[in-house]
Structure 1
Amino acid sequence: MFDSENPVNKLCAEGMMLEGEAKSQEALKCFTRAWDIAQNDFERFTAAHYVARHQADVSGKLHWDKTALDLALSIDTSEVKALYPSLYLNVAKCHEDMGDFKLAFENYSTAKQYTAFLPQDGYGDMIKKGVDAGITRVRGNEF
């Protein structure tokens, strides 16, 4: 699905390079431009995922993480389904950080349900560990 010539992907790649150079504001501008020119759900999902990473507060991050998740859920491909656990993990962590442990637990649990779609590699292992750690953290809170 990755097309290196796609303008949205080019902007996101440029933004990731800027992230690597610790130029957060410039990276956010690239990701926001990507969002502005996106023409389909896959492009909007991609841009929203990166915009979320540069929000100043948790509520802004949650908004963009939920936007990315909602768009991803509208795309029915195995490649995107492999991203569901990470997307639910991001949303869950925002709810946890905001003190809404019930919604955090629900989203961590949903992420867990999709872990079968993860690749069997370091990335997949990292996401699984993040999901399990999140469930452990919020399970002890009353909700």
Structure 2
Amino acid sequence: MFFDPDNKIVRLCAEGMQLEGKGNFEAAQELFSQAWEASQSDLERFIAAHYVARHQKSASSKLKWDEESLHYALKIKDERIKTALPSIHLNIGKCYEDLSDIQRAQEHYQLAWSYGQQLPNDGYGKMIKAGIRQGLERTFN
């Protein structure tokens, strides 16, 4: 992706991820919420919503934030955003699966798979592709 390390929203989310790594999830969620409140552009809203989604307590609440992230991602005109779409659709598919809406889960897992060609062939790309395959296997078997 194309994240500017000088962008306030990106910095808040990066700091939140560091706190997550240390097990300080409440403080991380606070930074992600601050990022959402301060976000102004579609890119900033996409990023912040993605991270806010990570700490939701229910699948329906997580789904709301993942769909919010997708909404703003689709408004971004830069082609590089397509590298984020497999992960977003994977997350949405998992929410629907957790909510027992298998048909909608399958739809999003299939969308994730269709965008999967945009992923790099590195550790991140392989992890997302594996998650998509597992989601497809769980919901189609």
Q: Deviations over 1:47-88 (max 9, x none)?
A: 000000000111111110111111111113232101100100
Quote the residue 2:91 is aligned against: 90
Separation in 1, partners of 2:4, 2:139: 38
How many residue pairs were aligned? 140
Structure 1 gaps, min length 5: none
Percent sequence identity over aligned pairs: 47
- Runs of 4+ aligned residues of structure 1 deviating over 4 Å after TM superposition are none
CA contact (8 A) 1:19 1:27 kept: yes
TM-score, scaled to structure 2: 0.95
Separation in 2, partners of 1:83, 1:100: 23
Q: How does 1:1-143 map to 2 (within 5 A)?
A: 1-140=2-141
Separation in 1, partners of 2:98, 2:88: 16
Structure 2 gaps, min length 5: none
Q: Residue type matched to 2:88 in 1?
A: L
Q: Residue type matched to 2:85 in 1?
A: Y
Q: Give the RMSD, CA atoms, in angstroms.
A: 0.9
**Which is further off, 34-43 or 72-81?**
72-81
TM-score, scaled to structure 1: 0.94
Separation in 1, partners of 2:90, 2:11: 26
Q: Residue type matched to 1:115 in 2?
A: G
